[in-house]
Chain A
Amino acid sequence: MQTILILGANSDIAKALAHEYAEHGYHLCLAVRNSERLDEDVHDLKIRYQVEVQSLEFDAEDYASHEDFYHKLSPKPHGVIWAIGYLGDQQQAQVDFEHAEMIVRANYLGAISILNIVANDLESRKSGFIVGISSVAGDRGRQSNYIYGSAKAGLTAYLAGLRNRLYSSNVHVLTVKPGYVYTKMSSHLNLPPKLTAQPADVAKDIFQAQQKLKNILYTKWYWNFIMMIVKLIPEGIFKKLSL
């Protein structure tokens, strides 16, 4: 069976994805900043689904290590999922460039660094897929999180380009734009329960969309409509809103 590489496997959405793929028989390679934190999950996944599971250290911001990281992977993955994300603090990012830079590195530059390497490999093997978790925040800049949002916008454009490039090599690219999800990242926010999904539901959506070779997935589905409206609001009005 094929192996899936999950980058940022300690993310709550990524953990749910690990269960989803393992349940469907895929082996897993879980890449995280601190692999010890994942020991219990590795045992759990192995026992529950009787698949092979390994965990490896990976830091998105340590670009120099990426080539070596990917080179050492064995077996090479059939599919790669980018789940890394860093929301940061918008207020701080406005006054502290180092913080802003960190947000851009974790969400955008880190992705380019590793996914370039992945894309080249899959392209040469002429099969496989890449799933990139971006965000609805990348669809339109808002005062409350535009540093994070702009990094995600960059990631969205990057993934669109990859999809276009890899199409002829039979490599599929799925861009995921989650709305609100209950995870570590959002635990300090007061999210509207009716519009906020559980990681397991989002993971099911992503798995389905990837298997069906969808290009762009809003999850949950109603974010399709919400973002359609958000994008339609004329800039003259949008700029006056407190969003």
Chain B
Amino acid sequence: MQLSGWGNYPKIKAKVHRFATAEDLQSLLECNGEYIVRGLGRSYGDSSLASHVISTDNFNRILSFDENKGVVCCQAGIQLKEILNVFIPRGWFLPVTPGTKFITIGGAIASDVHGKNHHVDGSFSRHLLEMTVMLGDGRVIKCSPGLEKDLFWATCGGMGLTGVILTATFRLIRIETAYIHQETLKARNLEHVMELFEASNEWTYSVAWIDCRSRGKNLGRSLLMRGEHVTSAGLNEVSSSRSSLKIPVNRCLSVPFDCPEFLMNQYTIKAFNMLYYQRIRNSIESSAVDYNQFFYPLDSVHHWNRIYGKRGFIQYQFVLPRSTSEAGMQRILQEIAKSGLGSFLAVLKLFGPQEESILSFPEPGYTLGLDFPFKPEVIQLFNKLDYLVLHYGGKLYLTKDACMSSYMFKNSYQDNQKFSSLKWRFDISGKFQSIQSKRLEI
């Protein structure tokens, strides 16, 4: 069947295999061919594409839960959404979550995802206590930071190239309510928003939306959102009628078919301007919002990726080290504004220290991500941007990438050789390869 990542580019023909038990997977792997694992396909480009795709759809059980410690063990195909539905009512939350709950735990580990709390809590792998991985030859290996740690750190962020993650044991965090206390701050420009990030270092969550069309002294005009979990006492202050761990069911909209791409920009421009000029009259606005509104605003519109039309889109997300962040961002934002090709909004975030996982994306510094509707000119722009990212010592996020060159990869991911040699040690016959890993010559 035809398959693509979330960006709908590229699209390929693939055969999809499913398994419900480890034994089923073992017999599947006995067949010849190249495989890549796929969770919910929320990576944007070609990370989970290959001629044979192993879907973890049916491998999604919760195997144990320690109610005192909040330690859960589950199969890799479970969705974050399911974990939230089961555990929020019992007072537990994910230690790290990306901007969508429609991803699997396998995908969270393989991309070593980050959330708005990276500067304090690191990426997903920091909270992972143990996992089991099935290698290409069918062996199942248990690994953790203390046991088989080469396999562990190569698999966290390893984009499915070491083997299939079967089960994961990780820690949840305690919450008293399902609400987040959110403050929204206005920033005049890039320098200002960076100041605000530094000043928000003590906050658990922080992220900013940048208006990519602004130029000159307004370059980097943005809204910074920071948040904390609301305590029970805190919620009573705001509203006594709200029940703390339950939230109202929200209605979901859905984009039924591919739309003309101008719709996307119209929608985001409106949303941003409304917030920037009207709702936030003061430079600080504060409110209590439910966790869906805070973490997953886009999830309330199913298939929003169709808004970009049939040709699809590519997300460009890079990180620059702290020392070059300000100069680099300035330069890159100028280039993007000049091109007029990008989406209206970009997401800016400050990363903190990162674990020792070999191919993980985060590193201390700023990361910026924005969408580009697919057009040939975009590829040319990316070449320019890649050059700048390299120049400033940064790199691109593999789970968003669909077109970087292997040159770019090898010069920006410092430990790429170490990763390749581990990958080929664990996957001697080269069973696991994605279109992306071939393009990048991993």
Contact = CB atoms under 8 A, between A and B. Distances in A.
A41 B58 CA distance: 11
B21 A44 contact: no
Contacts of B75: 40
B86 A47 contact: yes
Nearest to B18: A187
Contacts, number: 20
Nearest to B90: A50
Interface SS of chain A: helix, strand, loop or mixed? helix
Chain B: number of interface residues, binned into ranges:
under 10
A37 interface: yes
A44 B75 CA distance: 10
Contacts of B65: 47
B62 A37 contact: no
A188 to B, nearest CB: 13
A140 interface: no
Nearest to A10: B20
B274 interface: no
A43 B21 contact: no
A183 to B, nearest CB: 10
Nearest to B60: A44
B86 A43 contact: no
A47 B21 contact: no
A48 interface: yes
B21 A37 contact: yes
Interface in B61-91: 61-65, 75, 82, 86
A40 B86 contact: no
Contacts of A41: 61
Interface SS of chain B: helix, strand, loop or mixed? strand
B421 to A, nearest CB: 35
A202 B64 CA distance: 28
Contacts of B62: 43-44, 47-48
A34 to B, nearest CB: 11
Contacts of A37: 21
Contacts of B63: 40, 43-44
A48 B86 contact: yes
A32 to B, nearest CB: 13
A43 B66 CA distance: 13
Interface string A58-75: 000000000000000000
B23 to A, nearest CB: 9
A200 B63 CA distance: 21
Q: Which of B61, B63, B75 has the most CB of A within 10 A?
A: B61
Contacts of B61: 40-41, 43-44
B89 to A, nearest CB: 10
Interface string B11-43: 000000000010000000000000000000000
Given A40-B61, A43-B64, A47-B62, 14 more contacts: A37-B21, A40-B75, A41-B61, A43-B61, A43-B62, A43-B63, A44-B61, A44-B62, A44-B63, A47-B64, A47-B65, A48-B62, A48-B82, A48-B86
Interface of B: 21, 61-65, 75, 82, 86
20 contacts: A37-B21, A40-B21, A40-B61, A40-B63, A40-B75, A41-B61, A43-B61, A43-B62, A43-B63, A43-B64, A44-B61, A44-B62, A44-B63, A47-B62, A47-B64, A47-B65, A47-B86, A48-B62, A48-B82, A48-B86
Q: Enumerate the 5 nearest inter-chain pairs by beta-carbon distance, A residue then B residue, closest first.
A: A44-B61, A47-B62, A40-B61, A44-B62, A47-B65
